[in-house]
Amino acid sequence: MSSTKTKAGIKWSVIDQVVKQLITLIISGILSRLLTPAEYGLLGMITVAIGFLQVFRDMGLGSSIIRKQEISATEQSSIFWLNMAVGCLLMLLLMLAAPLLANFFKEPRLTLLVRVMSLNFVMGAMTVVPDALIQKAIDFKSYFYRNLGTVLAGGILGIWLAYKGFGVWALIGQSLLTTITGVIISFRMVKWRPRWVFNKALLKNHMKYSMPLLGDSTINYWVRNIDNLLVGKFLGASLLGIYNRAYSLMLLPVRQISVTLTRVMFPSFAIIQHDSGKMWDQYGKMMSLVAMISFPLMSFLGVYANEVIFIVYGSGWLEVVPLFKIFCFLGAIQSVATLSGSVFYATGRTALMFKVGLVSKALMIIGIAGGLFYGRLLGMVWGYVISSTFAFLIESYFVSHVLLNKLRDFFLNIIPEVLASLLSMLLLLFAKYWYKSSENSLTASFMGFHFIAAFFTLVLYIYLLKRLNSKGFKLLMKNIYAKKGTYTSPDDR
């Protein structure tokens, strides 16, 4: 694999995630001050309603394009028209089912909201092939500008509509314009255009690869959304809005960290898919690098949850704090667990991934539903975290198996980050409870003291990483001190 291309891919993927999530956080903070928890709860209900059908829009064919090293123009056009047909069918089904969904949630407003949101299916289907071609080329510079344009366009419209008093329609408008902008920019960035051809025979190999992905995505959808479904059904829109804000804020850093690397890992791993030794070495370094960033970050967010929620959402959302604290632990796990998909995708072991997902995701559904039954909202969050931990262990075992290694070796990659994060978090906790502040005020002395505490905690963390021989830390340092114009890629051993 080209070190220069990998370096550029990682660099622009990092820039993309940092800038996009920063803008998203700002937009979310503004919208949270203009909209109510109940309005966010309506969006949560809509997401549950259309999210399942969203799984079928791509059907894993975008990943198949990325994995296949040589793909013809006829194959690309055939995939495009198949996705368009599926998108139109899904839009029609959702328009017909909208009244049933409104009746299920006992929320009449959902009928029109869901029908308008269904337009996303047709527009979104248009971007599957061009977006896959951009990622296949590891051209994440173009992808950065694409995402920047979509987030800004949708966010600006959403804020304007919310300011004008359109309520939940601000969130609908934001979503639609984001999709439309993505279609326009993606087609401007690639030279490819669909031709009026459709070859069913050429799709067979793609479908054989993508169908297990579709099955896994379907299972994953129910795990990711059964919480919203249950909260919306049994606890109401307001509590769903609070839950959604806690979960969404946790996902911001998780996506920023892990998605940054997985988007580059998949096309890069696809090139060396037959060399399990090299893939294991790269995977271990990437896992260590993600853990090195996410573990202390989620620890910091958990310790300072009150202050984070107050700054981001305002004083009207402090009910989010207890949920967010628990979710921070889940975020640390998910940031590392997300990487496993690249291994299954690149090696073509999608059927195994589907079978593993059946077991691990069923465990998570039981944990979520059981937690809600015994402990309402807080119990459900704990059930989510505990079951996700066991699911992570199961998936980690099979990733190690695919790459011909042991589970023990899998976790040895992140032991330094775990120990360093735990010790650093203890220092933060000591500082936090030694100098307490009220939930609703952030004084200059409080901010100054904890800025100094955070600085010394960071110094301690870096020292511990070095002493504990962290793979991710060594990889980062090699590239920082590399001569100008050179790069130490994960596969340089």
Output the pLDDT for position 447: 60
Output the pLDDT for position 469: 66
Taking the C-alpha atoms of residue 404 and residue 401, their distance in angstroms, rounded to an integer, is 5
Output the pLDDT for position 88: 92
Output the pLDDT for position 490: 42
Query: How is residue 174 written in tokens?
Result: 């934001």
Domain residue extents for the chain: 1-15+236-488, 35-199
Q: Select from 353, 339, 338 the least CA-distant residue to 401.
A: 353
Which residues are CB-neighbours of 401 under 8 A, at least 6 positions away?
Answer: none
Which residues are CB-neighbours of 455 under 8 A, at least 6 positions away?
Answer: none
Output the pLDDT for position 136: 76
Q: Is the pTM of this model over 0.75?
A: no
Output the pLDDT for position 442: 54
Q: In tens digits, what is the pLDDT along the chain, a chain of 493 residues?
A: 455 666 677 777 778 877 887 898 899 889 988 988 888 888 878 877 677 777 777 777 777 777 776 788 888 888 889 889 989 999 999 999 999 988 888 888 999 999 999 999 999 889 888 888 887 777 778 878 888 999 999 999 999 999 999 989 999 999 999 999 999 998 888 888 988 888 888 888 788 777 887 777 777 777 777 888 788 878 877 788 888 888 888 887 777 777 777 767 777 777 777 777 888 888 888 888 888 888 888 888 888 888 888 888 877 788 888 999 999 999 988 888 888 888 887 887 878 888 888 888 889 889 998 998 888 888 999 999 999 999 999 998 998 888 888 888 888 878 888 888 887 778 777 777 776 644 444 555 556 666 676 676 777 677 667 766 666 666 666 655 554 444 344 444 3
Half-sphere exposure at residue 435, Cβ-oriented, CA atoms within 13 angstroms? 16
Output the pLDDT for position 476: 62
